[in-house]
Amino acid sequence: MLPPSTRRSLPMTLLRAREVIMAHFRPMLARHDITEQQWRVLRVLAETGPLEATELAGRASILPPSLTRIIKALEERRLITRNRVKDDGRRALLAITPSGVALIEDLAPERIAIYEAIEGRYGAEQYEQLLDMLESLIQSESSEG
């Protein structure tokens, strides 16, 4: 078997796919002075409610050292709060503030429009199928599987 050429290697193709998609969102994020990762953290907290750092890191696909820095920045901007969990001095519950919710809601319409445009160009069925196939890949390659 030949090794895949760089033009058809799975990691590089996933990287390029992510790039062309994120290019649509970056101007919006820049206008609101927020990074992609900060936006992910806020969305997860808005969807799920208060979480501990480890759980949040997992759901937002951010490594603990990065999350530490992101939390610090978001806390300084009063977009999230942190409250120690009683009975365990290590953990803290992270929660989105009303300002944070407002920011997410501000961005939501444009976010939806961008997704609809992508789906329109790519095809809604293909789009769903691609997501299914990616989730299946993640499943088949996860350490537990």
Element (DSSP H or E) covering residue 82: strand 80-85
Stretch that binds a copy of itself, among 40-48, 64-72, 75-83, 90-98 (CB under 8 A): 40-48
Q: Which is nearer to a copy of itself, 6 or 98 (CB)?
A: 6
Given 9, 48, 66, 139, the residue binding DNA (CB under 7 A): 66
Q: Is the four-CA dihedral 22, 75, 57, 109 of positive or negative sign?
A: negative
Which stretch of DSSP H or E encloses residue 128? helix 124-141
Retrieve residue 127's tokens: 């789009």
Q: Note whether 28 and 111 are within 8 A (CB).
A: yes
Site for a copy of itself in 82-111 (CB under 8 A): 108, 111
Determine the residue type at 117: A
Interacting residues toward a copy of itself by CB under 8 A: 1-8, 10-25, 36, 40, 43-44, 47, 59-61, 108, 111-112, 115-116, 118, 121-122, 126-127, 129-131, 133-138, 140-143
